[in-house]
Amino acid sequence: MANDVYLQVAVDVPLRETFTYCCERPLPTGTRVAVPFGPRRVCGIVTGPSAPGGLDPARIKPVLEIFDDLPPLPVSFLEMVAFAAAYYHHPYGQTLFTALPTALRQPGNVRLPDRRHWWLTPAGRETPPPAAHRARRAVWQALAEEACTLAALRPLAPQASAILKAWLAEGRVASGEPAALSFREGPVLALNGEQQTVLQALAGALAQGFSAWLLHGITGSGKTEVYLQLMARVLAAGQQVLVLIPEINLTPQLIERFAARFPDTPLVTLHSGLSDGERLAGWVDGWQGRAGIVIGTRLAVFTPLPRLGLIVVDEEHDTSFKQQEGLRYHARDLAVWRAHQAAVPVVLGSATPSLESLANVEAGRYRRLRLTQRAHGAARLPEVQLIDMRRKKRTEGLAEESVEALRTAQRAGQMSLVFINRRGYAPVLACTDCGWTSGCPHCSSKLVIHLPERRLRCHHCGWDAPVPGSCPDCGNVDIRPLGEGTQRLEAALTAMLPEARLLRIDRDTTRRKDDWDQLYQRIQAEEVDVLVGTQMLAKGHDFGSLGLVVVLNADSGLYSADFRATERLFALLNQVAGRAGRADTPGRVLIQTQWPDHPLYQALCRHDFDGYARTLAEERQAARFPPYCSQALLRADAPDLKDAMAFLDRLREALEPLAEGIEIVGPAPALMTRLAGRERAQLSFESCSRQRLQHFLSEAVPQVEAAARRASRSLRWSLDVDPQET
Ligand code: ADP
Ligand code: ZN
Ligand code: ZN
């Protein structure tokens, strides 16, 4: 066998290069193959032809197997991967394999669902099988009614596949791709003036190449309705739409809304809750152009879409668009790059746009559109009031006024929400005598008390231990929970509002797949008076008649060492407040705080996002923080902090000479120094020029890799370009 063609193949390893293999015939770029890598047989993707160069041709290994179950990956997909690898300075092979669904990362052919439809030929229609042949008769009857997939026939007859095969040979059936459905749009809402203006601007941008739009609309202003009407035009033109949404498992209603609007358009959802097979099927449907709409969380940004006509990123400020491990990409930013690549418009929607996007508007890169009114009938913005907790009597964390307001709302038949951003019973257990607190043995965080199970749990690393009967340090039996969590609040409210029907919603009560659906149904059926929940409840759900929102314990975000904490807190509270008064009831929001004069709360009360965003932007500009500088963080962790610090110290020294126009800050211990038994430090690279920073990183990364090879094996490092967490 003559192996005389050389190929470049990318494999899933932490190395920058691709590898040369030989094959008996040329393979197109994007072909999936199996290759030997060390002792293993791994999956590889052909990235182009190769020359043996300095390699000994006798030592170049052959491709072991070629997978032709699917066409080669499209070039535009590989280009996007190459961009992401270069921008985030991540190994190309690892970037490529991150972008692929898990099923395509294995060295084997994949099984795709058989989507062919079968129907009766005129000959088949004329010759029904005898009624005595029950299975054949059932298949024939189903086909006589309409074209069916094999999957639809199997429940009628387990041997459907064999029957069809025989009939195909006899010319009694035929098969093929389902006929493309014509586009159909469900009932639309009549847009208000603002919505019309926005839709006109966006629709005018369709088929006009790349453009980036920030749709800044208050909660409930009808952004989604605008997306839907814009999408209708794209779908009617036979193009595909990509919709990115934050990583939350509470999206069935949103998806239902899309599906109901476009009843004939195949819609695919892609998120981390799917099985490998489901994700593969959806990905391939997008890639093969069968899906008109692809809705997904950040990983969906990589889905190949041959007829892409529009990208929508909803809640663009949401931090879940940034991946925090491996390839640390930002799906919103990649979406904008992708829109540019595909020459289509991208719409970023939010009630509280990120400072990054606002800066892009200022710089003229994005255009801003606004929706300033609530879309629905009489719905008005809620009234936000602060409860000064400095000299307030409180019971289990609740001010008397809050409890009174909850009672009043219940009597008026309105649903309320008590929002607290900590699940569990209480955030820490403490000894009243020696001051011991329940710290996690592996992290610099406290163990949270979960009362029903009587466990202490670390919400960072998952460490779990029984609640001790006495103080482990001094033996004192009077140890007490400090602070509030959702469970404790639920217990306290049950005692204070004995008549009210309570429902707690947090990660613990929504662990299983349909938990949320069931809880949501109870809310819809108005079987709930008071919802107690975490930020899971803040996002994107229309609860109908939510009359009152009480916010507890928000203060911790005010004075965090993370300069982004206030931006996030504002977005979160604005979103929580947005839950109130959505339908025809004007809502009320009570925020309990020790800092009633803080500009953040003052701005919330005035619904003044613009003013607050300006203040934050000025602070960032003065401090030269992102988005007014470009930043990358080099993180290192080791069992011992001093090893991580020493590694970064040496690198700082080595990189200093390269760092023209780059400010190197640190190294410093990370905010949360200890995590899961490892200690973490970081070195920050900052520059007013993104390009210069990129150039510096290209030179720096090989040095970091070399230094890591010399360092102890227990040391790990990662680079985070445009980090979202400090
Ligand atoms: P957003 O995405 O900005 O939060 P939605 O599109 O979900 O807003 O709209 C909020 C509510 O207002 C929904 O119940 C929606 O059905 C309704 N709505 C949106 N646009 C209109 C309109 N033009 N007329 C009447 N109701 C509308
Ligand atoms: Zn003690
Ligand atoms: Zn821990």
pLDDT reported for residue 444:
80
Point out the ligand nearest to the CA of residue 218. Answer: 1
ipTM of the complex: 0.96
Span 351-361, mean pLDDT? 96
Q: How confident is the model at residue 378 (pLDDT cuts 50, 70, 90)?
A: low
| Ligand 1 atom at minimum distance from 578 CA | 4
pLDDT reported for residue 481:
87
The model's pLDDT over 294-310, given as tens digits with 9 standing for 90+, comes to 999 999 999 999 999 99
Q: Which protein residue's CA is at the shortest distance from atom 6 of ligand 1?
A: 222
pLDDT reported for residue 413:
87
Residue 19: is its pLDDT beyond 90?
yes
Q: How confident is the model at residue 608 (pLDDT cuts 50, 70, 90)?
A: very high
Max CA distance (Å), the chain = 91
pLDDT reported for residue 671:
81
pLDDT reported for residue 251:
66
Q: Which residues face 415 on adjacent strands?
A: 546
pLDDT reported for residue 253:
76
The model's pLDDT over 136-162, given as tens digits with 9 standing for 90+, comes to 999 999 998 888 888 888 888 888 889
Q: Which protein residue's CA is at the shortest distance from atom 25 of ligand 1?
A: 376
Provide CB contacts within 8 A for 457, sequence distance 6+: 424, 447, 448, 450, 463, 464
Q: Quick one: tokens of 274?
A: 């799917």
Ligand 1 mean position, distance from CA 266 (Å): 24
Mean pLDDT for all residues in the chain? 90
pLDDT reported for residue 584:
66
Q: How confident is the model at residue 575 (pLDDT cuts 50, 70, 90)?
A: confident
pLDDT reported for residue 582:
57
Q: Please, what sign has the CA dihedral across residues 136, 142, 144, 146?
A: negative
Q: 151 or 370: which carries more pLDDT confidence?
A: 370
Q: Quick one: tokens of 344?
A: 């289509």
| Ligand 1 atom at minimum distance from 195 CA | 23
pLDDT reported for residue 1:
47
Q: 112 near 69, Cβ under 8 Å?
A: yes
Backbone angles phi, psi at 592, to 5 degrees: -85, 125
DSSP per-residue codes, 94-154: HHHHHHS-GGGGSSS--PPP---EEEE-HHHHH-PPPTT-HHHHHHHHHHHHS-B-HHHHT
Distance, CA of 33 to CA of 31 (rounded, Å): 6
Distance, CA of 449 to CA of 455 (rounded, Å): 6
The model's pLDDT over 628-669, given as tens digits with 9 standing for 90+, comes to 999 999 999 999 999 999 999 999 999 999 999 999 998 999
Residue 252: is its pLDDT beyond 80?
no
Q: Does ligand 1 come within 6 angstroms of the Cβ of 189?
A: yes
Q: Which protein residue's CA is at the shortest distance from atom 8 of ligand 1?
A: 222
Q: How confident is the model at residue 55 (pLDDT cuts 50, 70, 90)?
A: confident
The model's pLDDT over 436-471, given as tens digits with 9 standing for 90+, comes to 888 888 888 888 888 888 899 988 888 899 999 899
